[in-house]
Amino acid sequence: MVVGLTYNLRGESMETFGAGPPEEGDDAEFDEWATVQTVAAVLEELGHRCVVIGSLPALMARLLRGERWDLVFNLAEGHHGYAREAQIPALLEEWRIPATFSDPLCLSVCLHKPTTQRLLRQAGVATAPFTVVRRPDDLDAVDLPYPLFAKPVAEGTSKGIGIDSRLTDPRQLHLVCAKLWERHGQPVMVERYLPGPEYTVGVLGAGADARPIGVSQPLFDEPAEPFLTALRKHDASQKPVPARLLDDTTASRRIAALAVQAWRALGCRDAGRVDLRCDAAGEPYVLDVNPLPGLSPTYSLLPLQWESAGGTYPELIAHIMASAEQRLPAETAPAIATAPGGSGVRSGRVGWR
């Protein structure tokens, strides 16, 4: 099968979504060339012919030249707007070329956190109370008990989250929101701060076939900053914040079940992550759903969790491909893919090992 590979590279030309000048970390969601090379090599090992395409302009040019692929493995996060993660999938949808991961609607919904939370709440999934502030006049109408937590409505990789994101009084609320408006050029989501432990659940598959990989808990070494900021996702050496994979217990199964419920409610597919946090009583709430996960084998949370659960990186890519291949036309669908050194994954059950 011919598989195209789309991506955004760190350091490529870009303008910021906000009003301020470019700053270090603006391209934190983008991939390093080493990640692109690794994914391409694994796709070749799985028996596919991988065509390295690049970002949206390169894809557009190739499509207009008449190039086609059986499926596109999409890593691209996009540059601009609330629908930036959906731009390449939407273009491929118009050309009727299947792509990995969630569809354009799901990607747009999940990037916009208030929309995500509203839909989850309608589906009966627990989320923290929140409000959206768009201008200074909105601040006086915030009617939630302190402490609160502030973040941009549509950023990933913890961009816009810092040590000052936890708010204890109206003065902090005004200062932090003003900073986020100026830096990110978008409304701010203000939600009730949840003081309990934070968890990440990796999910594979779609619909009834969606299964959790496991439940991981970040290990914070600074009690004063018990949440993931943009700087703490990983340090300059690309080492991620340490995390431990929870044992298969009643408590961890409950967290995993809530994550899968959120995943299914939003129509996510193939692979991704759900982030949750508990309140003071230990009740879990969904914070964020990431249907376009990072795949760096060095520091991205999903591959690291998968490997902690006993899997290999090629097996993870094979599972993602197997899920996406279910959307291929019948005449294109390949035989069962086999990860190097592993077994076929088309019919295997995914979950804790």
The 10s digit of each residue's pLDDT in 317-339 is: 999 999 999 999 876 666 544 55
The helix/strand/coil state of 199 is strand
Ordered by start, the domain boundaries in the chain are: 2-101, 129-192
Report the top-level CATH class of 2-101: alpha beta
The better pLDDT of the pair 184, 352 is held by 184
According to DSSP, the β-strands at 148-152 and 188-192 are antiparallel
32: Cβ contacts below 8 Å, ≥ 6 apart: 9, 10, 296
3-class SS of residue 126? coil
Three-state secondary structure call for residue 246: coil
Tell me what pLDDT residue 8 has. 95
Tokens, residue 303: 């591959």
**Structure confidence at residue 236 as a pLDDT band (50, 70, 90):** very low
In this structure, CATH architecture of domain 129-192:
2-Layer Sandwich (3.30)
> Which band of pLDDT confidence, cut at 50, 70 and 90, is reported for residue 226?
low
| Beta-carbon count within 10 A of 217 CB | 16
Domains 2-101 and 129-192 share a fold: no
Which residues are within 8 A (CB) of 181 and not within 5 positions of it... i.e. 6 or more apart? 187, 188
229 confidence band (pLDDT: 50, 70, 90): very low
Q: Which helix (H) or strand (E) holds 203?
A: strand 198-204
pLDDT > 80? residue 220: no
With contact defined as beta carbons under 8 Å apart, do 276 and 117 qualify?
A: no
Res. 208: pLDDT tops 60: yes
Q: What is the pLDDT of residue 10?
A: 86
Strand-pair partners of 9: 31
Confidence of residue 235 (pLDDT cuts 50, 70, 90): very low
The arithmetic mean of pLDDT across residues 91-95, rounded, is 97
For residue 150, name the pLDDT band (cuts at 50, 70, 90): very high
